[in-house]
Amino acid sequence: MNSEAASRVQTVTVLGATGSIGKSTLDVLARHPDRFRVHALTASTSSAALRDQCLFHHPAVAVLADDRDEAWLRAELKNAGLATEVRSGEAALVEVAEAADVDVVMAAIVGAAGLLPTLAAVRAGKRVLLANKEALVMSGALFMQAVAQHDAVLLPIDSEHNAIYQCLPSDRRDGLAGMGVTQLLLTASGGPFRGWDAAQLSKITPEQACAHPNWSMGRKISVDSATLMNKGLELIEACWLFEARPEQIEVVVHPQSVIHSMVAYSDGSVIAQLGNPDMRTPIAFGLAWPERITAGVERLDLFKVARLDFEPANEAAFPCLRLARDAMLAGGTAPALLNAANEVAVAAFLDRRLGFTSIAEVVAAVLDTCEVVAADELNVILDEDGRARRVAERYLTR
């Protein structure tokens, strides 16, 4: 951020405002009204929650992904005396992401639905706070090329990638080897089912899978954390963000979730970023970078934590992590196929149409069925995403 930008109020669009990341973002923004102003808030179908957020933050624009409640929300805000413009649909999401009077875009729409507006923000040269890992998973090469071409500032918000970003040197022009980095260590809590056997895993309910022991997250991400697919998607994201190969990244199960990730250097040093498991910390980092601001997060008390445990990830019990690594190694559209199949499978599990351990089976079946092609055009990526979803749905109805 240049000195002129730092001295004026920054305008922020929050894509996915009613989700857990969106709510945490708005909490941080509300703590710093002298630094930030909300330009636009978006939601998928949570119209009542979006209304309440608008009543508090007074955005210029509010966008619903679905048009069913557009008229209702417009009337609600008008009756409250707000001049907020209410819109709906994908085109509106893209427009608020690339709007000329927006400085910062928090990309927190869950899943493939976040790809187009996030990419639009990048192409508009915004500071993009990336909490939507699927955008990079689906279109990593295209996405990172757009970041470079349009001088966008890309700051990772996932706690693990944000930790790695903080542990790396500020000069990243020469790749990991040029920085003396030998390994990136992605930490994982292990989810709520760490240590469970196959018989126990086969009986898991959606309620159990959504009860994460350390983090407050949405239902889909909670299930991904429970299957370790979330860590697999993070591995793919880390490869693109830090120009790393899959073999340079190790997943370390760390149940306390206070070390958010680590970087190992050639001189034997390992640098870690620690903090309480609260997403407001990486969000505040992204909003104020390269400065630091208060986030409302309690300081980590190491004496209270008392111990730090580590163990390898169990890929036999949780094969989604292996499937993600294999997809990244395969390249092309394989990560997009993986992500699409997983979204369909997780939705079926949450609807009680699929067992917990069958999520990985659906993903593996799609990867075995669909041919991997070059992911060098956005329309190809989107077409293959749709194809993988159709194959996954057919698998569910066998």
**Residue 153 region by backbone torsions, left for phi larger than 0, else alpha for psi between -120 and 50, else beta:** beta
Residue whose C-alpha is closest to residue 117's, from 60, 25, 42: 42
User: Mean pLDDT over residues 78-97, rounded?
Assistant: 97
Q: Measured between alpha carbons, how far is 251 from 199 in angstroms, rounded to an integer?
A: 25
For 372-389, what is each residue's pLDDT tens digit? 999 999 999 999 999 999
pLDDT score, position 177: 86
CA gap 371, 330 in Å, rounded: 11
Residues 35 and 288 sit within 8 Å (Cβ to Cβ):
yes
Write down the pLDDT at residue 221: 87
For 232-279, the pLDDT digits (tens) are 999 999 999 999 999 999 999 999 999 999 999 999 999 999 999 999
pLDDT tens string 312-364: 999 999 999 999 999 999 999 999 999 999 999 999 999 999 999 999 999 99
pLDDT at 2 over 50: no
Contact call for residues 55 and 138 (beta carbons, < 8 A): no
Vertex 111: Cα angle to 151 and 390 (nearest 5)? 125
Integer Cα distance of 159 and 243 in angstroms: 18
The tokens for 214 are 């350390």
Q: Distances in Å between the alpha carbon of 338 and those of 43, 233, 312?
A: 25, 9, 23
- From 240, 91, 97, select the one nearest 158 (Cα to Cα): 240
Q: How far apart are CA 209 and CA 120, in angstroms?
A: 33
